[in-house]
């Protein structure tokens, strides 16, 4: 009972005692008057590029870009006149192969609905300024209009490094196989 009485007395003392007045902080010379909060971290950071090791093997002839073949005549844009007599450049070949690797996404998307495989050869006409004047399928053993259309979209309208001279035709073989 004594403990209970002591507990009640302590509670009453705590509730009835006056609260001390708050002490106002005075700024000193060492304390800056205005402190800016740190900038928050960015809300969006782009994902890193995919590793090169994940690219599907395109076959034995994938690294061989044929330039200067299949001369053709076009009548529009930077490829006016005869195209195919120019000289390609290593930077152009590298850029075209990069676009060919990106075409793997077209194949992966198509695999969601059907199991297809085969080889496409894309003929890309690149003007002297590096503009892609035309892209067309010259060989198609895949047989999927969805894949062919998507692959052509990867090339058409792009601006690539210019060839060393003239207008060139770059034939790019792309193999699509199902991973086992």
> Residue 90 sits in which domain range?
57-176
> Residue 163 in contact with residue 83, Cβ under 8 Å?
no
Residue 37 included in any domain = no
The answer as to whether 8 is a domain residue is no
Q: Which residue has the higher pLDDT, 7 or 81?
A: 7
Q: How many CB atoms lie within 10 A of CB 175?
A: 20
Confirm whether pTM is higher than 0.75: no
Does residue 104 lie within any of the structural domains?
yes
Residue 162 lies in a domain: yes
Total domains in the chain come to 1
Question: Is 42 among the domain residues?
Answer: no
* Residue 114 domain-assigned (yes or no): yes
Would you state the pLDDT for residue 28?
57
CATH of the domain at 86: 3.30.1150
Q: What is the rounded average pLDDT for all residues in the chain?
A: 74
Once rounded to an integer, what is the mean pLDDT over residues 109-130? 87
What are the pLDDT digits (tens) for 59-117? 444 444 444 444 444 444 556 667 766 787 888 888 888 888 888 888 888 888 888 88
> Is 127 contained in some domain?
yes
What confidence score (pLDDT) does residue 32 get?
55
Q: Is residue 122 part of a domain?
A: yes
Q: What percent of the chain has pLDDT over 90?
A: 2
Question: What is the structure's pLDDT at 24?
Answer: 63
């Amino acid at each position: 009972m004594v403990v209970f009485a002591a507990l009640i007395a302590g509670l009453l003392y705590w509730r009835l005692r006056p609260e001390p007045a708050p002490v106002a902080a005075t700024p000193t010379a060492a304390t800056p008057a205005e402190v800016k909060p740190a900038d928050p971290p960015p809300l969006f950071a782009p994902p890193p590029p995919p590793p090169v090791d994940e690219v599907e093997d395109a076959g034995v002839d994938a690294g061989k870009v044929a330039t200067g073949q299949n001369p053709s005549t076009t009548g529009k844009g930077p490829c006016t006149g005869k195209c195919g007599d120019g000289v390609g450049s290593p930077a152009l070949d590298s850029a075209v192969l990069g676009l060919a690797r990106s075409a793997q996404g077209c194949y992966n998307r198509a695999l969601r609905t059907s199991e297809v495989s085969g080889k496409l050869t894309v003929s890309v006409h690149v003007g002297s300024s590096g503009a892609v004047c035309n892209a067309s399928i010259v060989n198609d053993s895949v047989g999927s209009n969805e894949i062919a259309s998507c692959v052509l979209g990867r090339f058409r309208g792009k601006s690539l490094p210019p060839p060393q001279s003239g207008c060139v035709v770059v034939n790019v073989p792309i193999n699509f196989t199902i991973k086992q």
